[in-house]
Amino acid sequence: MNINIEIDNDTIADEEVVRRVLAGEVALFEIIMRRYNQRLYRVTRGILRDAVEAEDVMQNAYVNAYTHLNQFAGLAKFSTWLTRIAVNEALTHIRNRKRFVNIDSTYNVEEETMNILSPKTPDPEEQVIAKELNVVLEAAVDSLPEAFRSVFLLRKMEGMSTAETAECLDISEQNVKIRLHRARVLLREEISASINLAAPDAFQFGGKRCDRVVVSVLKRINSGLL
């Protein structure tokens, strides 16, 4: 389905879309779904660790949100309201399959800061490396306990604030900070273990890179440019 209405889908505010959907322009709900599919998939997939189940839960969350759209009071961001619905749907799904993990953290630590470097445009070889690193990171995130995993996904992958994350997960801001800290510690340990296993095979030099160097050196030797 693609909406065919004269409207700027990128700039129209969520609240305006909600108002118009409630007024009868139901097709505009597609804007909401396309706008938040990535976030909801990340969040539900992170909680459930299953892509197929995540898609099912996303659909349920959207239906639930649409059904209760008139209950959105504007007291929080619409994105926060919608994300919380998705989180609750995912947690309900876990409880239904008897695999819900309940973690009660009692640590008292200050939130760490994470430096994010802006990467240069990668070449094809760097893109391959980046994909491999993504596989390692995704596996490490999947290994986190659900309570830590959901906080990490919302805060660091979706860029939500501490307050928004707390509201989505129905926990205190202090607990968000605690769980984010623990998630980072566990991720460091998991990634470090993966690196130790992969280290003997790292920095392989073959294929086109090897050929390129061989050709270049032979060319210099044959031309006398030593």
| The predicted structure's pLDDT at residue 76 | 83
Give 226's contacts (C-beta < 8 A, 6+ positions apart): 220
CA distance 124 to 225: 29
- Structural domains of the chain in order of their starting residue, each with its CATH number: 14-96 (1.10.1740.10), 124-198 (1.10.10.10)
Backbone angles phi, psi at 28, to 5 degrees: -70, -15
pLDDT(214) > 60:
no
pLDDT(84) > 90:
yes
pLDDT digit string, tens, across residues 87-134: 999 999 988 875 444 444 433 333 433 332 344 555 555 565 566 677
pLDDT(147) > 60:
yes
pLDDT tier at 198 (50, 70, 90 boundaries)? Answer: low
Taking the whole predicted model, whether its pTM rises above 0.85 is answered as no
pLDDT(212) > 70:
no
Selected residue with higher pLDDT from 13 and 76? 13
Q: Answer whether 107's CB lies under 8 Å from 148's CB.
A: no
pLDDT tier at 136 (50, 70, 90 boundaries)? Answer: confident
